[in-house]
Structure 1
Amino acid sequence: MKAEETEPESKFGDSRKYDPNFKGPIQNRSCTDVLCCVLFILALMGYFVVAILAWSQGDPRKVIYPTDSKGQFCGQQGTSLEKKPLLFYFNILKCASPLVLLEFQCPTTQICVEKCPDRFLTLVKAKRNDQDLQYYSQFCKEDVDFTLTTPELLRDRACPAMIFPSKPFTRRCLPALETRKGGVVVIGNETSFSDGNTMNVNATDLLEASKKSNIVLEARQVFMRIFEDYTQSWHWILLGLLVAMVLSLLFILLLRLLAGVMVWVMIIMVLLVIAYGIVHCYMQYVQFRGQPGADVSITDLGLQTDFSVYLQLQQTWLAFMIILCIVEVIIILLLIFLRKRLQIAIALIKEASRAVGHVMSSLFYPLLTFALLALVIAYWAITAVFLSTSSAAVYKVFNSSECEFSRQTCDPETFNSSNISSLCPDAECMFAFYGGETFYHRYLILFQFYNLFLFFWCVNFVVALGHVTLAGAFASYYWAFKKPEDIPAFPIFSSLGRALRYHTGSLAFGSLILAIVQVIRVTLEYLDHKLKGAENRFAKFLLSCLKCCFWCLEKCIRFINRNAYIMVAIYGKNFCTSAKDAFFLLMRNIIRVAVLDKVTDFLLFLGKLLIVGIVGIGSFFFFSGRIKAVEIILHSTIIYAHHLHTILLTLMHIHLHIHSRAHATPFISYTPHLIYSALQYATCSYAASHTHAHAFLLCTLMPPHAHARSPAHLHRSYTRSCLRSCARTHLHVRPTHA
C-alpha cells in the first residue's frame, strides 16, 4: 500500500523542496538553446532574401485585375483598358470543358469591356440593324471589319456568336441566371435561347459553365472583396475595437474590486444576451415565414459575396436559433455541474486581478504582441502575393476539339502564321498562366513553402515571447515577500529583456516544433482538398485519421509549450528541461489542473463572450439604422450590409485574441501554473507568510504529498486544515467547510 502511494511521485519525478532563499525568477542565468537561436537567425536572413527576390520579380496587378487573352490587365489605370474593368467571355459554354480544371483557363477568347451585355442578341441579327451592330461592337475585338461575312468574323474570332444578359461578378461578366420555383433556371425570363448558329442553348448549360469558369476565382475574389470592404470601413472597425477595449478595462477593474459579484453578474448577463439572441432569431424566422424567396435553402443559394443575402433566408435564422439554443443549454449544464468549483475559481480570479493591479503594464503588452503579429502577417501576405505574381506570361494552344498541339506553349505574335493554325483551325494561342523556365521560376513553389513555414515559425515565436514575458512579470509578483516594495520597477520590460537576451533559442525551439506540425496539417488539408473527388475510401479514411492525429498533436504541443515557457521564464533552463519539468509538474497535479484551470478558463470566456456580445449587438443596431441619432451618418458613409457581419467576425477574432492575451493570460494561463510551481517549494507555513488571498489559493489548489490519500478526501481534509492554519496566522482567511 505504501509503495502504491509513492508510485505516482517516482513516475512523474519528485516535488521540489522548499527553498527560503528563492525570490522569484532567477537573475543569474545563461543563454539556452544557442544552436536553435543561430538557426532561427539564419532562417530569417533567408526569409529576407526570398522576400527581396519576390518583390523585385512580382506584380500584384495580376491578382487585382483580370487578364484578357493577350495577358493585358482589365481596368488598369494609365492604359488603354482603364475604362474597361470587366472581362467578357466570347463563348462561356466552353468554360464547362474539363480543360478549365487542368489549365485554370476557359478555352475561349476573352476581352475587356466597359459593361456587361443586358440583352439577347446574335451576330447575324446585329448585322441587319446599324443600331444593334453599334451595341454589339463593344463586345468584339478592337478595329473589327464588319464588312466581312459572319462566318469570316467567327473564324477570325473577332466577335462572339451571341450575347446574353450578364452581370458583373468578381470583375467578370457571368450569365444573369435566376432559379424559379420548382428549380427552373432562367436567364432574362427565358429558359433557352439561340446561340447564333441556329441552335438553342439551355440556361442550365450556362449555369454549369459559370460554375466552372469561377471555380478557381471564387476564393481569391471573395477575399479581395472582403479586403476592399475593410478598407472602406476600417474606421468603424477601429471604433468597435476601441469600445471593446474600454469595456475590457472597465471589466477588469470591477473584477478586481467585486470578483464574486462580477462573476455571477457576468454569468447571468451572458445567459440573458444569448436568450435575447434566441428570441431575436425566432422573431426573424417568423417574419420571413411565407415570404416569397425566403424558403430557398442555403445550399441552393451557394456562395455569395453579399452576405446580407443570407439574412433574407428563413433557414439562416433557424440555424442561428438552434446554435444559440445549444450554446445556452451547454452553459447552463456546465454551471450546474461545476458549481462547487466556482468559488475556488472566483478566488483565483480575485488573486489574479490583484496581480494585474500591481503589474498594470501587462494590460498593454498584448498591444505589442498584436502589432508584431500584424507585422508578420502583413510581411507573409505581401511576400506571398509577390511570389504568386512574379512569373512571366505563358501562352498555350487552346482548342475545344481534339488537337495534338493542345496545351503546348505558343507565341501569340507568330501563331497565325504557324502551321498549328492550319492543322487545328479552331485552335487559338491564349494567355494561360504566369510561369517561367528560369531557376527562380522552377523553384517558385519551394519559395512559397518556405514563406509559409517561416510564417508559422515567426507567429509562434511572437506568441511564445508573450508567454515568457508575462510569465516572468507575474512570477516577480508572486515571489515578492512585500508587495509592492519587492516587485521590480518595470517587471514587463525586465522580463522581456531576459527573454530576448537569454532565451531566444528556447523560444525558437518550441516555435519550430509547433511550426513543423502546423505545416504538416496544412499539407494534409491540401491533400484532402485534392482527394475530394476520389473514390478511394481507404485513402480518405487514412487521411482523416492523420488529420485527427496531427490536430491532437498540435493541441498537446501547444499545452506543453505554454507551460514550458513559464518554467523557462522562472528558472532559466533550456526548452527540453523546462518542458519535462512542466509536464511532470502538471501530471503530479493533473486533477486540479484539469478542473480549476478549465473552470477559470470557462469563467473568463464568459467575460469575453459578454463584451463581444454587447459590442456585437450595438454594432447590429448601429449599422442597421435602428439608432436614429446615427442614421444621417450612415447615409453619408460607404458601408455595405454585409460589413456588419465582417465587423462582428473581426471583433470576435481580434477581441478574443487581445482580450485573452491582456486579461485571460495573466488571469488564468499563468496564475494557476505559477502557483503550482510555487507550491513545489512551499508548505502551508510558507503560504502563511504571503498575502491572505495568496495563502488561500496556495492552500486550496495543491496540498503537499505527505497527505497522500484519495484525491477527493485529500482535497477536502487538507483544505480545512490549511485554512485553519492560515486563520491562526492572522491572515484573515475564513475557514470554510470544503
Structure 2
Amino acid sequence: MRVERGGGEPLEYDPTFKGPIRNRSCTDIICCFLFVLCLLGMIVVSIIGYAHGDPYRLVYPTDSQGDICGLGHLKDKPNLFFFDLVTCAKLGPAVVTGCPTPQVCVKECPSKNTVHMVADRSDLICLDKVDLNQSPYKEMTANELVKKNLCASYYLNSKPIVGRCVPKIFSDVIDTSTKMVDSDSNTTLERANGDGVTVKDIKEGTINLLKFFKLKGVAELLFNDVLNSLHLIAVCLLIGVILAMIWIVLLRWVTHVAVWLSIILFICLFGFATGFSFYKYIEVKNTNVTEEFQLPETFKFELDYFLSLERTWLIFGCTSGIILLLFLLIILGLCSRIILATNIIAEASVAVSHMWSVLLWPIAPFLLQFLVIAYWISSMACIASMGEKQFYNGTSDIHILLNRVPCNPEGNSTLSELCGFVKYGGDTYKTAMLIWMLFMFFWLMNFVLALEEMTLAGAFASYYWAWDKKKDIPTFPLISSFFRSLRYHTGSLAFGSLIIAFVQMIASALEYINRKLKGSENDVAKFIVKCLRCCFWCLEKFLRYINKNAYIVIAVHGRNFCSAAKHGFLLIMRNVLRAAILDKVCDFLMLISKLLITAATGAVAYFWFQREVPVVDEYVPELNYFLSPIMLVILGTYLIVDCFFDVYSMAVDTIFICFLEDIERNDGSRERPYFMTKTRNLRKFLKNKKE
C-alpha cells in the first residue's frame, strides 16, 4: 500500500505493540519541578495580597479622606458627592488619576439645583470634619466655607449611578451652552472661583468621571441582575444540557441524519435572521426615527435604544447574510469531505458508546478551571487593592496634576489647600505581582486543558487498539488514563502548557500596546502591532494543534513532549492534505452543533426574560439590563455544550491519529491485521484512501 510522503519514513510493523503501553517512565521531570516551584511562588504572592489588600476598595466609592462609602462609620452614606464636576471636565482622560475636587459620602444625592449664595446654611454639603455648629466653622460665612474647600459651591439635581451622584441632565434635550440656574431663586450657579456653571461643563465632567467608574458600576448592576434571576438561569442551562444529551444520542444512532439535519437547521437559522433583520431595517427606516440627540456612550446600556436605530438592523442583516453565503459555499465545496468526516464522527460515537463515562469527564476539568478562575480573581482583587492611602494636593491644572506632590491630610494647616485621597500606593511591586499572577493563570488554565486532552486521548486510544472492542477495553479506561497522565506525564503537560502561556503573555502585551496606541498618530507602529497580534494568534492556534497531537502520542507511547510532538507532526505531514481537510471539516460540523444548541437555549431565555411566556411570567424579576442573564445563559450554554462536544472532537482526533498509525504499521493481511473496527465507517475511509 502506498503511503503519502513528505513527513519522514512511515512507521514499521511491531508485533508487540497493542496500544497504550503500561511500562512507562516519568517524562520532562525538570519542567515538572519548575511547575511546582512556580505554583509555590503564586501561592506566596496570593498570601501577600490577602494579607494587605481589601477588595471593597475596588467596588465602593471612596471620599477625599480615603474612607469607603457605605462601610464602617459611613454605612448610612452609600453615595459619593463631588464638590465641583467642572474640574473633571478639564482633565479629560487624565481623570483616572483622580478628580481634584473634594468628595464626600452622603446619604442621599441632592434633589435640586442650588448655589451656596442663596442656599440655607443647613443645606450646604460639607466635608465630614466640618460641623457648622462648632467653632471655627460656626463663625464662617457660606462664601468663606466655599473658598476654603470646606463646602460645595453648588450642587445639582442628581441621582445615584454606580454609587456616585450624577446630575439628571442627560434625559433632557437642552442647549449645552446655557448656564445652569437655581430652580428656586433663579440665580445662576457659580463655582468657588466665580465662574459660571454650564450644562456643557457638567456633562463633560460627569462623562469623563464615569468613564473611569462605569465598569465598576456596570459590574455591580449586572451582578444584581444575575443574582435575582439565578433560578431561571439554572433552568435555562439545564435545558441546554438536555438538548446536548439528545443531540449526542442522535449522533450515536443516526449520525448521518443528525449531521445533515444540523446543516439544514443552520441554513434555516441564518436565512431567517437575514430576512428578519432586513425587514426590521426597512420598518425602522420608514418610521423616520432621527438621532439628533445622542446619549453619551456611558449611558448606552438599554437594548431598546440600539434596536431603534436602523443601522443596527442593517449590520445584523449584512452580517447574517455574509455568514449564510460563506456557509453555503463551504457546504458545496466540501460535500464529499463531509461524508467522510461523518464516518469518522460515527466511529467516534461508537467509541463514546463503549465509555459513556467520558461524557461526564468534562465536569472534572471544568470544576478545576472554575476553581482556578475563582482563586485568580480573588487574588488579583486583593493584590490590586494593596497599598497605603496616598493623598495629593489638588489642582485643576492637568500639567500640575500629573506631577503633584503628596501631602498629609492630618498635618495640613492650610484650609484652602485641598489634600485629597487619590489612590492606594505601592504600584511598583504590585504591578510585578499582577503580571506574575496573569502568567500563572494562563499556565494553569492551559495545564488543566492539557490534562483533559491527554486523559481522553488515553481512553479513546484504549478503545481503538483493543482487538476485541467488547472484551479487551480496560475496565476503567478513563480513570486509568487520568492516573497515567498525572503519575508519569505531569512534566510533559506543564511543558506544553508553558509554551502556550508564553505566547498568550506576549499576545496580552501586544494587546496592551495596541490600546495605548489608539490615540497615537503613529500609523507605522499601529500597523506593526496589528501584524504581530495576527502572527501570534496564528502561532497559538498552530501550537495548540501540535500540542493536541503530542498529547495523543504521549498517551499511547509514553514519550516526552518534544519526541511526541515530532512523532505526531511527521505522522500528520505524511497525510497532510487528508488530515488538514478532514480535521477542519469535523471541527466545522461540531461547531454547527454547538451553535444550534446554544441558539435554541438563548431563544428560550430571551422569550422568558422578555415575559413572552405567561407560565413563568410571575417568576421573572425586574432587571436593570434584561440582556445580562440572557448573555450569561448563552455563554454558559456554549461552555457546557463545548465541554460535551470537545469529547467528540478529542475522540475524532485520537481515532484519526491511531488510524494513521494503524495503516502504516499494518496492511490488513492475516499476519498484519488492522486494529480498526470491522464496521463500514473506517473501512470506507480506507477504501477511499487506497483509491
On whether the aligned pair clears a TM of 0.5, the verdict is: yes
Q: Which residue of 1 aligns with 2:26?
A: 31
User: Which residue identity is paired with 2:46?
Assistant: A
Q: CA deviation at 1:194?
A: 2.8
Q: CA deviation at 1:435?
A: 1.1
1:80 aligned counterpart, secondary structure: helix
1:153 aligned counterpart, secondary structure: helix
User: Which residue identity is paired with 1:231?
Assistant: L
Higher relative contact order (CA 8 A, sep 6+): 2
Is the counterpart of residue 90 in structure 1 residue 74 in structure 2?
A: no
Is the counterpart of residue 106 in structure 1 residue 99 in structure 2?
A: yes
Is the counterpart of residue 364 in structure 1 residue 369 in structure 2?
A: no
* Structure 1 residues 258 and 92, CA gap change in structure 2 (3 angstroms): same
C-alpha distance after superposition, 1:529-585 (max 9, x if no partner): 122222222222222222222222111111111111111111100000011111111
Q: Which residue of 2 aligns with 1:431?
A: 421
Q: Which residue of 2 aligns with 1:201?
A: 197
Is the counterpart of residue 240 in structure 1 residue 240 in structure 2?
A: no
Match of 2:222 among 226, 241, 244: 226
Match of 1:680 among 656, 660, 664: 664
Q: CA deviation at 1:118?
A: 3.2
Q: Which residue of 2 aligns with 1:332?
A: 328
Q: Which residue of 2 aligns with 1:170?
A: 162
User: Which residue identity is paired with 2:8?
Assistant: G
> Unaligned regions of 5+ residues in structure 2, if any?
none
User: Which residue identity is paired with 2:111?
Assistant: D
| Structure 1 Cα separation of the partners of residues 465 and 663 of structure 2 | 11
| Structure 2 Cα separation of the partners of residues 442 and 403 of structure 1 | 22
| Structure 1 Cα separation of the partners of residues 23 and 402 of structure 2 | 72
C-alpha distance after superposition, 1:478-504 (max 9, x if no partner): 111111211011111000010000000
Q: CA deviation at 1:98?
A: 3.4
Is the counterpart of residue 411 in structure 1 residue 408 in structure 2?
A: yes
> Unaligned regions of 5+ residues in structure 1, if any?
128-132, 704-714, 720-738
Match of 1:519 among 477, 482, 505: 505
Identity of paired residues, percent? Answer: 35
| Structure 1 Cα separation of the partners of residues 73 and 661 of structure 2 | 69
Say if 1:460 and 1:511, in contact at 8 Å, map to a contact too: yes
Match of 2:537 among 530, 548, 551: 551
2:424 aligned counterpart, secondary structure: strand
| Structure 2 Cα separation of the partners of residues 505 and 303 of structure 1 | 50
Q: Which residue of 1 aligns with 2:649?
A: 664
Q: CA deviation at 1:431?
A: 0.5
* Structure 1 residues 102 and 212, CA gap change in structure 2 (3 angstroms): closer
Q: Which residue of 1 aligns with 2:70?
A: 75
Q: Which residue of 2 aligns with 1:55?
A: 50
1:67 aligned counterpart, secondary structure: coil
Match of 1:505 among 474, 479, 491: 491
Say if 2:78 and 2:107, in contact at 8 Å, map to a contact too: yes
Say if 2:229 and 2:620, in contact at 8 Å, map to a contact too: no
User: Which residue identity is paired with 1:93?
Assistant: V
Q: CA deviation at 1:663?
A: 3.4
Q: CA deviation at 1:403?
A: 6.7
The size of the alignment, in residue pairs, is: 679
| Structure 1 Cα separation of the partners of residues 108 and 473 of structure 2 | 68
Q: Which residue of 2 aligns with 1:613?
A: 599
5 Å-filtered alignment, 1:143-542, equals 143-144=131-132, 145=137, 148-178=140-170, 194-196=189-191, 199-286=195-282, 288-289=284-285, 295=291, 301=297, 304-307=300-303, 309-401=305-397, 407-416=404-413, 421=414, 426-436=416-426, 442-542=428-528
Instruction: Indicate the larger mover: 99-108 or 386-395.
Output: 99-108
C-alpha distance after superposition, 1:505-543 (max 9, x if no partner): 000001111111111111111122122222222222222
C-alpha distance after superposition, 1:277-321 (max 9, x if no partner): 334434544554466867479996456445554344443333223
* Structure 1 residues 46 and 194, CA gap change in structure 2 (3 angstroms): same
Q: CA deviation at 1:136?
A: 4.3
1:415 aligned counterpart, secondary structure: coil
User: Which residue identity is paired with 2:420?
Assistant: M
Q: CA deviation at 1:123?
A: 0.8
Say if 1:88 and 1:139, in contact at 8 Å, map to a contact too: no
| Structure 2 Cα separation of the partners of residues 544 and 312 of structure 1 | 34
Q: Which residue of 2 aligns with 1:650?
A: 635
Q: CA deviation at 1:392?
A: 1.2
* Structure 1 residues 86 and 182, CA gap change in structure 2 (3 angstroms): closer
Instruction: Indicate the larger mover: 171-180 or 34-43.
Output: 171-180
Say if 2:359 and 2:647, in contact at 8 Å, map to a contact too: yes
* Structure 1 residues 537 and 646, CA gap change in structure 2 (3 angstroms): same
Aligned-pair Cα RMSD in Å: 3.1
Say if 1:308 and 1:641, in contact at 8 Å, map to a contact too: no
1:325 aligned counterpart, secondary structure: helix
Say if 1:469 and 1:495, in contact at 8 Å, map to a contact too: yes
Instruction: Indicate the larger mover: 551-560 or 394-403.
Output: 394-403
Say if 1:225 and 1:305, in contact at 8 Å, map to a contact too: no
Instruction: Indicate the larger mover: 328-337 or 348-357.
Output: 328-337
Instruction: Indicate the larger mover: 535-544 or 259-268.
Output: 535-544
2:12 aligned counterpart, secondary structure: coil
* TM-score, structure 2 as length reference: 0.91
* Structure 1 residues 540 and 481, CA gap change in structure 2 (3 angstroms): same
| Structure 2 Cα separation of the partners of residues 491 and 521 of structure 1 | 37
| Structure 2 Cα separation of the partners of residues 150 and 195 of structure 1 | 13
Q: Which residue of 2 aligns with 1:21?
A: 16
Say if 2:180 and 2:188, in contact at 8 Å, map to a contact too: no
Say if 1:568 and 1:574, in contact at 8 Å, map to a contact too: yes
* Structure 1 residues 21 and 699, CA gap change in structure 2 (3 angstroms): farther
User: Which residue identity is paired with 2:205?
Assistant: A
| Structure 2 Cα separation of the partners of residues 228 and 19 of structure 1 | 62
2:391 aligned counterpart, secondary structure: strand
| Structure 2 Cα separation of the partners of residues 300 and 293 of structure 1 | 18
| Structure 1 Cα separation of the partners of residues 225 and 381 of structure 2 | 19
Q: CA deviation at 1:322?
A: 2.3
Q: CA deviation at 1:185?
A: 8.3
| Structure 1 Cα separation of the partners of residues 159 and 383 of structure 2 | 32
| Structure 1 Cα separation of the partners of residues 178 and 38 of structure 2 | 56
Q: CA deviation at 1:50?
A: 1.2
* Structure 1 residues 346 and 446, CA gap change in structure 2 (3 angstroms): same
* Structure 1 residues 242 and 142, CA gap change in structure 2 (3 angstroms): farther
* Structure 1 residues 689 and 31, CA gap change in structure 2 (3 angstroms): closer
Say if 2:69 and 2:77, in contact at 8 Å, map to a contact too: yes
| Structure 2 Cα separation of the partners of residues 106 and 184 of structure 1 | 22
| Structure 1 Cα separation of the partners of residues 501 and 228 of structure 2 | 34
C-alpha distance after superposition, 1:66-125 (max 9, x if no partner): 10000011111xx23112211111001111233862762000000112222232211112
* TM-score, structure 1 as length reference: 0.85
2:646 aligned counterpart, secondary structure: helix
Q: Which residue of 2 aligns with 1:708?
A: none
Say if 2:148 and 2:417, in contact at 8 Å, map to a contact too: no
* Structure 1 residues 87 and 594, CA gap change in structure 2 (3 angstroms): same
* Structure 1 residues 303 and 681, CA gap change in structure 2 (3 angstroms): farther
C-alpha distance after superposition, 1:238-265 (max 9, x if no partner): 2222211111111111111111111111
